[in-house]
A = this chain, B = another copy of it.
Amino acid sequence: MPAHELTIGQVASRTGLSVSAIRYYEKEGLVFAHRNAGGQRRFPRSALRRLSFVIAAQKFGFTIARIRDVLSELPEDEAPSAKAWHAVALEFRADLDRKIAALEALRDNLEGCIGCGCLSMKNCKIYNRDDEAAREGPGPRVLRGI
């Protein structure tokens, strides 16, 4: 086993992810590994960076699909340049700023509606958003609209 490659267990202990989560992320296309003669995964070191990014992105509330999308700008296989990572960071950052702005706007609206104790439902911008949520189909909905 070449020194520059990592087993799934090594990747797990270095990222803090579980082995099963890493397999799942591979299946979802967030990270790539090739196989050795015996069929076991061997990860390039760059996988550590990708996975660390995945962990951070999830803390911000990004879905796997969105993360895959952002990461798809990086070269799959070997050490992406600082430039490539920077582009990813920029796109990520833009999403993030939008999310924070939306949360702040909601908070400030809430002050006007509930904060005053009147909770006027006829005029409130939060409460009368024309039914967005109702049209979104099944499944968990946490933060989905933001």
Is the C-beta of A49 less than 8 angstroms from some C-beta in chain B? Answer: yes
Complex: how many Å from CA A97 to CA B127?
20
- Oligomer: number of copies: 2
Interface bits A68-102 vs B (CB < 8 Å: 1, else 0): 00000000000000110110110011001101100
Place the interface of chain A in its size category.
35 or more
**Closest B-chain residue to A64, C-beta based?**
B142
Interface of A toward B, CB cutoff 8 Å? 16-18, 21, 48-49, 52-53, 55-56, 58-61, 63, 82-83, 85-86, 88-89, 92-93, 96-97, 99-100, 103-104, 106-107, 110-111, 113-119, 121, 124, 126-127, 129-134, 140-143, 145-146
